[in-house]
Amino acid sequence: MILGLVEHESGVPEETSLEALTMARELAAGEETELGAVVFGEEGGALEGELGPYGVEEIYHVTHDRLDGYAPAAWGESITQLVSELGVSTVAAPGTDRGHEVLAHAGAALDAPMATDCIAVDVVDEGETYELRRHRWGGSLVEHARLEGETKLVTAAEHEYPIEEAASTTEPTVSEFTPSLDDAHLRVRVERVETADEEGIPLGEARVVVGGGRGVGGPEDYDKLEELADLLGGTVGASRAAINEGWRPHDDQIGLTGAQISPDIYIACGISGAVQHMVGCKGADTILAINTDSEAAIVQKADYAVIGDLHEVVPELTEAIRETT
């Protein structure tokens, strides 16, 4: 059996989990075996209707009287026990914080190899071996690799695997599964959730992002970018160089170790276009660069460019938009 980890919000599966499930179904087809899903949480037992279209035949709903919230080692241990009891050859999880964390725990318990952020996985030798491609450096490099072992663990890179329904809808059966857990598995658990007071549009969701890099020159001049962003109903982001200068908080950082954005347009001002920055804005439909240097890498990577001083262009642009609207 191939097992997919499905995260859900009140019984509605996350998109990233459906991506992983699509990958898992392809593996199950390649190995001519069944596709199962493992789910946690109270509403997890009511996912038959949601997972049937994806070809899931069995749903394992993990319940335990000491497991009332997220606990990474306990989730990993539950998967470990399912793997041994059901003879699972591969577990596929979404490439999310939890997907990576839970699978790493299972990987440690099973002493099994784990390939993260996969974008394609092919079954060879009847499932003895997988040949796969995965992201490195946030996707600026692709690694071709071989994964072998009695149990294999894979995660699907977020928003890379197209979600596809199965050719025919299944009617999955739901089995309750109670793992045996001890104190050690429950040492780490979510004690509580603190909600943030939302201010402004989160970078990841903004339709317009105005980014400022080292070329902005200081914290005050971000006011000009803020004005433009406000006018366009967008949000301001920054490069790591600007954050290291202390001009903006880290929450504003776009890139490999910051936020991933997917706006309609990203206006990058005074940003040179380092790979670690650009992997954060792969999802942007259009990129407009404003830079004094026509040789800057971002001028090649953007769709449109204006060669000039942002301190001059941005305020004039804001003014012109005010006049038109």
Partner 1 sequence: MNVLACIKRVPNTGAKIVLTDDNQRIDTSNLGFTMSPHEECAVEEAIQQVESHGGQTHVLTLGPEEATEQLRTALAMRVDEATLLETDGEEWGPRATASAIATAIRDLPDEDTEFDLLLFGNESADMANYQVGVRVAAELDLPCVTGIKSLEVEDGVATAKREISGGEEVYEIDLPAVVAVKEGINEPRYASMRAKMQARRQEVANLEPDRAVAPGTFEKIRLEAPEADDSDAEVLGEGADAVPEIVELLESEVEVL
Ligand X SMILES: Cc1cc2nc3c(=O)[nH]c(=O)nc-3n(C[C@H](O)[C@H](O)[C@H](O)COP(=O)(O)OP(=O)(O)OC[C@H]3O[C@@H](n4cnc5c(N)ncnc54)[C@H](O)[C@@H]3O)c2cc1C
Q: In the complex, what is the shortest distance from the CB of residue 30 to partner 1, in angstroms, rounded to a whole number?
A: 18
For residues 195 and 285, is the Cβ–Cβ distance under 8 A?
no
Whose Cβ is closer to partner 1: residue 172's or residue 179's? 179
322 binds partner 1 (CB under 8 A): no
Q: In the complex, what is the shortest distance from the CB of residue 170 to partner 1, in angstroms, rounded to a whole number?
A: 30
188 binds partner 1 (CB under 8 A): yes
Please name which of 82, 119, 71, 118 lies closest in space to residue 3, comparing C-alpha atoms.
82
In the list 212, 258, 270, 280, the residue contacting partner 1 (rule: CB under 8 A) is: 258
For residues 238 and 256, is the Cβ–Cβ distance under 8 A?
no
Give the Cα separation of 192 and 91 in Å (integer): 29
Q: In the complex, what is the shortest distance from the CB of residue 68 to ligand X, in angstroms, rounded to a whole number?
A: 35
217 binds partner 1 (CB under 8 A): no
Whose Cβ is closer to partner 1: residue 61's or residue 240's? 240
Whose Cβ is closer to partner 1: residue 174's or residue 274's? 274
Contact pattern for partner 1 over residues 112 through 151, marking x by CB under 8 A: xxxxxx-------------x-x-xxxxxxxxxxxxxxxxx
Contacts of 153 (CB under 8 A, 6+ apart): 90, 91, 93, 103, 106, 107, 110, 112, 113, 114, 115
Among partner 1, ligand X, none, residue 215 binds (CB under 5-8 Å by kind): ligand X
Binding site for ligand X (CB under 6 A): 213-215, 239-242, 253-258, 270-272, 274, 276-277, 280, 290-293, 296, 309-311
Q: In the complex, what is the shortest distance from the CB of residue 28 to ligand X, in angstroms, rounded to a whole number?
A: 36
Contact pattern for partner 1 over residues 146 through 185, marking x by CB under 8 A: xxxxxxx--x----------------------------x-
* AA letter at 211: G
Collapse the DSSP code of 312 into the 3-class scheme (helix H, G, I; strand E, B; otherwise coil) and give the result. helix
**Binding residues with partner 1: total (CB under 8 A):** 97
Give the Cα separation of 106 and 113 in Å (integer): 10
**Secondary structure letter of residue 7 according to DSSP:** -
Query: Which residue's entry shows tokens 């294999």?
Result: 152
Whose Cβ is closer to partner 1: residue 44's or residue 107's? 107
Q: How far is CA 83 from CA 53, 69, 110, in A?
A: 24, 22, 9
Residue 304 backbone zone (phi > 0: left; psi -120 to 50: alpha; other: beta): beta
Among partner 1, ligand X, none, residue 117 binds (CB under 5-8 Å by kind): partner 1
Q: How far is CA 116 from CA 92, 95, 137, 215, 270, in A?
A: 10, 7, 12, 35, 33
Whose Cβ is closer to ligand X: residue 107's or residue 258's? 258
Q: How far is CA 54 from CA 20, 51, 152, in A?
A: 11, 5, 21
Q: Which stretch binds partner 1 (CB under 8 A): 36-44, 59-67, 214-222, 257-265?
A: 257-265
* AA letter at 159: H
Please name which of 92, 79, 107 lies closest in space to residue 29, comparing C-alpha atoms.
92
Q: In the complex, what is the shortest distance from the CB of residue 147 to partner 1, in angstroms, rounded to a whole number?
A: 5
Phi, psi at 191, each rounded to 5°: -80, -40
The residues in 69-108 that bind partner 1, with binding defined as CB under 8 A, are 70, 72-73, 97, 100-101, 104-105, 107-108
Among partner 1, ligand X, none, residue 141 binds (CB under 5-8 Å by kind): partner 1
The residues in 192-211 that bind partner 1, with binding defined as CB under 8 A, are 192-196, 198, 207-208
